[in-house]
Structure 1
Amino acid sequence: MTARQLDRQAAEQRIVKLRDLINDYRYHYHVLDESIMSEAAADSLKHELSQLEEQFPELITPDSPTQRVAGKALSKFAKVQHQTRMISLQDVFDRAEVAAWIQRMKKVRQDITEEFLCDIKMDGLACALIYEDGVLTRAVTRGDGLVGEDVTMNVRTIQNVPLTLRANQRFAHFLRGRTEIRGEIVMHKADFAALNQRRRAAGQPEFANPRNLAAGTIRQLDPKLVAERPLHF
């Protein structure tokens, strides 16, 4: 075995370790809202990973933390047909409409129970994340529910979107085959306010509202511009 092969073997092991450390940091910071290391330490790990991948480009993989912002600006988005129709939520405004909805559901299933889980409705852009064997391969907007747009390069820049699903014995089946996760791409009000404050200071026009900004940003053709805006999934 040559010295180059020995170096490559050690580099590959270190790259795997660095990716695990960085992904774990991102998960705790962007999903659990807690920090397990300083930003300086995290930046140091990212820098080391970037240098190793530059030295051994054959070891770069699409799910590497260094590949979140990659590729040139697109000329247009490709159309993608949803495997299962991606429907939208229906608004209700009073108890009578809720009661009517329950009755419609009982016609479909007689054993339905009138128990509800209530959550905040975040308004942004509906999107489906598609993972193959645990690796993010495609992100598609809802579109008309049947056909959406491929916005994978842009969604990869969103910090709380995992490029690789975390290993978990309880949910190990999600790491095999195709897994589709549907949700909303949004911008938090605090992030929106901070962004507009920076634009005011720079003499730039302010954005109208976080919903339109989130939807408009994810449909930008340049992933680098998308990466500059604080989106969440």
Structure 2
Amino acid sequence: MAARPCLITGASGNIGEAIALRLIADGRPVALTHSPRGAPSPSISGNEQVRWYPLEVRDDAAVQALVGSIESDFGAVPDLVYCAGITGDAAIPRITNELWESVIGTNLSGAFYTVRALATKLMVAGDGRIVFIGSVSASKGNPGQMSYAASKGALEAMAREVAVEMGRFGVTCNVVSPGLIEGRMVGGVPDKTIERYVRSSPLRQIGKPVDVANLVSLLMSAEGRYITGQTIQIDGGLTAM
């Protein structure tokens, strides 16, 4: 039986790209999305098993159309790794309505739109996998990340709801919650902040995108069939302190 395809939103980011490469290595056909304002990752070439799609995740109609296109292109409903996300850091008094709505729309509403578009199809197909990429910011307060932390905390609650509602159809849903991971999203983080993070982390090091990808691979596999409704921290032990 052919492997079920997997939809990975935000696949042009560092973590999304690493997840895509790992699932491709696992033999998964993948449908990868990038922002309409961006471009596909140059390290992942397209073929009949790897297809790129522009997607504005805040556009419910566009999400529904994408799911239909993937079913047509791959011949099956896809599993989901929701990796699309933005930060939008600002002190609380400086968070505009537009900034708040942009972060919540991308990180949370987009995940909801995608799950809603896939839910019935995955329940009918059975044995589905959904993984949300969260953040330790949902568990540990971090100045300037009100909107980001709120979106990621709500994502954890949503994952539990999905797990409960869809579990009887064999569909699992979990959150992988990274700490500080090398890549473009931390490019603007001051060196002193990174050094403080490293000193306060039990493993005394920053994570790599492949660390996240390896965990996602497990959750998306047959070996992950009995793990659902969980938030799994991948943060070098930061949240253990």
Give the TM-score of the pair, scaled to structure 2: 0.25
Give the TM-score of the pair, scaled to structure 1: 0.25
